């Protein structure tokens, strides 16, 4: 029998744990579910935005000096709508996020930014389209939802390998079953 693991949560080390707790609370709406010392002496903060998940994100004290290199590629959070993506975009900028980039991957609309410690954060939502990855093109998040949908669909249909997401998911289900 095949096992298909699902990512459940991410933990990161922090230089300034309270600053990151505030950032992720105010930008993404995560709430602290628990906090305290671990046996190692490090302080842990558990955060979630889902009543069904005690923690989706963990911030741990004691991040070492990485001398300009951040081993975290990105931390991604799914939102429910383009309106929510606009809200995260605006809140992130209001709370000091840097390097803001708004991109469509064809299969998702994303905004990427750096948190106060330089970690790359992505907020995104899925589209009903699939194009082969990696794929990225800028789009204007300030346009209406209807304009964004129309422009994304036209862009995707012009991309070799385009298909609707439900078709792609059916093909993927067959691959996973074999």
Q: Which domains does the chain have, with CATH numbers?
A: 1-63 (3.10.180.10), 73-173 (3.30.720.110)
Query: Reduced to 3 states, what is the DSSP secondary structure of residue 50?
Result: coil
Q: How confident is the model at residue 28 (pLDDT cuts 50, 70, 90)?
A: very high
Q: How far apart are CA 161 and CA 147, in angstroms?
A: 23
> Is residue 83 within 8 Å of 91, Cβ to Cβ?
no
**What pLDDT, on a 0 to 100 scale, did the predictor assign at position 62?**
87
Given a cut of 90, whether residue 143 has pLDDT beyond it is yes
pLDDT of the residue at 146: 98
Within 8 A by CB and 6+ apart from 113, the residues are: 89, 92, 93, 97, 98, 99, 100, 101, 120, 121
pLDDT digits (tens, 9 = 90+) for 38-89: 878 889 999 998 888 888 999 999 888 877 777 777 899 999 999 999 999 9
- Whole-number Å distance between alpha carbons of 16 and 156: 41
Q: Give the residue with greater pLDDT, 68 vs 121.
A: 121
> ∠110-10-131 over CA atoms, to 5°?
30
Q: What is the pTM of this model?
A: 0.82
How far is CA 137 from its chain centroid? Answer: 17
In this prediction, residue 54 carries a pLDDT of: 83
Question: What token pair was written down for 108?
Answer: 């998702």
- Evaluate if residue 175 carries a pLDDT over 90: no
The residues with which 52 forms a beta bridge, in sequence order, are: none
> If you ran DSSP here, which 8-state letter would residue 159 be given?
S
- What mean pLDDT do residues 130-134 have? 91
Distance from C-alpha of 116 to C-alpha of 105, rounded to nearest angstrom: 25
Query: Distance of alpha carbon 153 from its chain centroid, rounded?
Result: 22
Encoded tokens for 162: 């385009």
């Amino acid at each position: 029998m095949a096992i298909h693991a699902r990512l459940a949560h991410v933990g990161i080390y922090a230089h300034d744990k309270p600053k990151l707790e505030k950032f992720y609370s105010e930008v993404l709406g995560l709430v602290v579910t628990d906090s305290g010392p671990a046996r190692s002496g490090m302080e842990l903060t558990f955060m979630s935005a889902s009543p069904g998940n005690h923690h989706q994100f963990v911030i741990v004290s004691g991040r070492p000096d990485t001398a300009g290199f951040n081993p975290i590629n990105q931390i991604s959070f799914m939102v429910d709508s383009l309106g929510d993506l606009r809200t995260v975009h605006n809140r992130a900028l209001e709370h000091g996020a840097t390097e803001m980039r708004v991109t469509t991957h064809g299969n998702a609309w994303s905004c990427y930014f750096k948190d106060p410690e330089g970690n790359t954060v992505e907020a995104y939502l899925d589209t009903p389209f699939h194009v082969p990855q990696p794929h990225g093109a800028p789009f204007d998040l300030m346009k209406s939802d209807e304009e964004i949908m129309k422009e994304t669909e036209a862009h995707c249909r012009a991309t070799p390998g385009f298909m609707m997401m439900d078709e792609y998911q059916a093909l993927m289900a067959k691959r996973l079953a074999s």
